[in-house]
Structure 1
């Protein structure tokens, strides 16, 4: 399971959330939230991310990267990664198969 040290059995039941059309998911490593400013303060991702929530995935990453580098004084002391995923509406509705068609006449 992600985020747990090797050999840890502290995992509880997984949380599930709806991910609807237009929703955005930001994934990031600890290098982002543990990035420190020259005064020692951590990067306040939770407070900053909302400022650019309407910028689209590319815009959000652009603004967060710029803001993160400004926060640390231009250079990160650790590796950091961010990925933004935005759910787009389906281009065509998904149709359920009413009848499974056997491949080469074989039944499964």
Structure 2
């Protein structure tokens, strides 16, 4: 899938990346897809465009991409790293406020009640 063009400019600005090689562009696309997958598996669906919730979602994806970009090495030298508390608060808040789709009526009214 990769980074949608509409998102790419803000993602690159957030990560402070410019002048990427074709290989780095490919890596950025993989990291973006992984971040979106993480959000989905965490129970947070991609919200509609131009909503405050979408801004929060995009910010979480940006955090995940930047963290993965910065921590590509297998080994760490120096202090032990920890998760960004702002990211954790935002992700938790999004998970707790995820719209409930379990009570939406998805049955076809012409088919009647399921048997």
The TM-score range, normalised by the shorter chain, is under 0.3
Please give the TM-score of this superposition, normalised by the length of structure 2: 0.25
- Larger strand percent: 1
Please give the TM-score of this superposition, normalised by the length of structure 1: 0.25
- Larger helix percent: 2
Higher relative contact order (CA 8 A, sep 6+): 1
